[in-house]
A and B are shown apart, each in its own frame.
Chain A
Amino acid sequence: MIEFHGVSKRFADGTLAVDDFSLLIPSRKTTVLVGSSGCGKTTLLRMINRMVDPTSGYVDIDGDGIAAMPPVSLRRSIGYVMQNSGLLPHRKVIDNVATVPLLTGVPKKEAHARALELLDTVGLDRSLADRYPSQLSGGQQQRVGVARGLAVNPNILLMDEPFGAVDPIVRADLQHELIRLQRDLDKTVVFVTHDIDEAFLLGDQVVILQVGAHIEQQGAPSDILANPANEFVADFVGSARGKRRLMVDETADSRGDDLVLIDGAGYPAGVVDAPGGVLPGAGSSPKSRSISNKTDQAGDA
């Protein structure tokens, strides 16, 4: 459990990046911080591993204030995955994955054996172990980044727009892989993104932020979608524009078995996954994967 208590951060140049932010991040769940660029997401994330120290307020992990913990050892105990992977370009994939164990003095043999297992975990072929990062595709690099983040088997995994720089199909792949991983590993994941679709897909808890890390709304994706707290949220999640309101396209001729769903603007958004085209009933939550929205479609590609 990570707790922010009235945390603010003013940078040396006067920018107030985070303004009186409080949040409880539950253990073994995925919490997604979502908001436009510059709203303070990265700053929040970096306050969890003391890359940034708050100007006021404090952060606790499992009830202990992190201000008293030495930054280097704190960081070694927390996984961190960033955009553009942040891999060390002069080290082979296997050494990148084993970076932190090697730093903490784990014998090379042992660290490498574990690194190979982690390549399996993130769905990379072991034959890539001796490559340099520049010899991998963007998606593969991000997987290595995730493997590195998991190398010390941390309780907490911080992810800063980790899939922001890869193409949509690979991104969908990586997102689903993360969902699968999280099912197996049960980490406390704090995930930062500016993509609301990604937030809804991955988050158990989603926190929608505005400039200064002001919380506009927090809750389960279904709650936010069903009851947007204000106009900003409604607009941000797209329900105000009718993007999320799906209806069966009555005009489409049923050449196939599937009923086509269209959004408020009349664009096809997916199909009803029900034989004979019978809607499964009122029980389906917006997160239900039985209605394929655009993100899921890409994932199946």
Chain B
Amino acid sequence: MQWLWENRDLVFGLSLEHVRLSVIPIIGGFIACIPLGWLANRFRMTRAIQLTIFGILFTIPSLALFVTLPSVLGTKILNPINVVVALTIYAIAIMVRGAADAFASVPRDVIESANAVGFSSASRFWTVEFPLAGPVLLANLRVVSVTTVSLLSVGALVGNGALGYLFINGYQRDFPTEIMIGIVFTLVIAVVFDQILVLIGRILMPWARRPRRSPRALMVRGAA
């Protein structure tokens, strides 16, 4: 506690950095997965290709990706872009299958009835398929969010790990308190992100909550 108080500026700064560096991959991965998931659900071939590509990318150890990306992107090794890009790739890899599942979870007869009443393809996608894929997309996004927040720490090994710095520093100084603080703050960020996602889901998808029991009593019988 004493240590935390004395180093509050450092820990606070690292936490902010942690939030900043993990938000981008989470949002970026989500946005990238919408067209990818739609394509994968629509065309079987694309799904197979996507799953293979991102399956392979996902097997590359994170550290290897952190150190090779600078040469691929032409960036300096200490540039935080490297970590952000690597984490975005992982986010997509984790989510791409789930995104395809999300679009596949939209009931066939709802899509057909949307066609039947005259939705154009674009309005059907944005106002029917996308929102109805929402609950499954959200479930996957929560996994991505937690994974990204914890994976970011590995970036400390190449100088951009935000709270991960406390792990390395604590290890080098053989100072467990610092490591514990790093873990606790990482956890808190992960939980806060998760709760924010749940809240956004509640607000945007009020219909997805458990249905009330059907109130048959209110049915008005035919007047004839």
Contacts and interface: CB of A to CB of B under 8 A. Distances in A.
A191 to B, nearest CB: 15
Interface stretch (B153-161, B181-189, B215-223): B215-223
B118 A90 contact: no
Interface string A92-109: 000000011001000000
Contacts of A136: 214-215
Contacts of B115: 51, 75
A173 interface: yes
B123 A103 contact: yes
A20 interface: no
Contacts, number: 94
A139 interface: yes
Interface residues of A, number: 40
Contacts of A16: none
B: interface residue count bin? 20 to 34
Interface in A22-36: none
A123 interface: yes
Interface in B20-59: none
Interface string A36-69: 0000000000100101000000000000000000
A90 B132 contact: yes
B117 A90 contact: no
B119 A103 contact: yes
A128 B119 contact: no
A82 B219 contact: no
Interface stretch (B5-13, B106-114, B170-178): B106-114
B113 A80 contact: yes
A123 B113 contact: no
A51 B214 CA distance: 32
B211 A135 contact: yes
Contacts of B205: 90
B214 to A, nearest CB: 4
Contacts of A148: 117
A80 B114 CA distance: 10
A86 B207 contact: no
A219 interface: no
A89 B113 contact: no
B65 interface: no
Contacts of A46: 116
B107 to A, nearest CB: 8
Contact of B116 (A82, A89, A103): A82
A15 interface: no
A135 B219 CA distance: 12
Interface of A: 46, 49, 51, 72-76, 80, 82-91, 99-100, 103, 123-125, 127-128, 132, 134-137, 139-140, 148, 173, 176-177, 179-180
Interface of B: 107, 109-110, 112-120, 123, 128, 131-132, 134, 205, 207-208, 211-212, 214-216, 218-224
Shortest 10 CB-CB distances between A and B: which pairs?
Answer: A86-B113, A76-B118, A75-B118, A134-B211, A80-B116, A180-B224, A177-B222, A137-B214, A90-B207, A132-B207
Given A82-B113, A90-B132, 15 more contacts: A49-B116, A51-B116, A72-B119, A75-B115, A82-B116, A87-B113, A88-B110, A100-B118, A103-B123, A123-B221, A125-B219, A135-B211, A139-B219, A173-B221, A176-B224
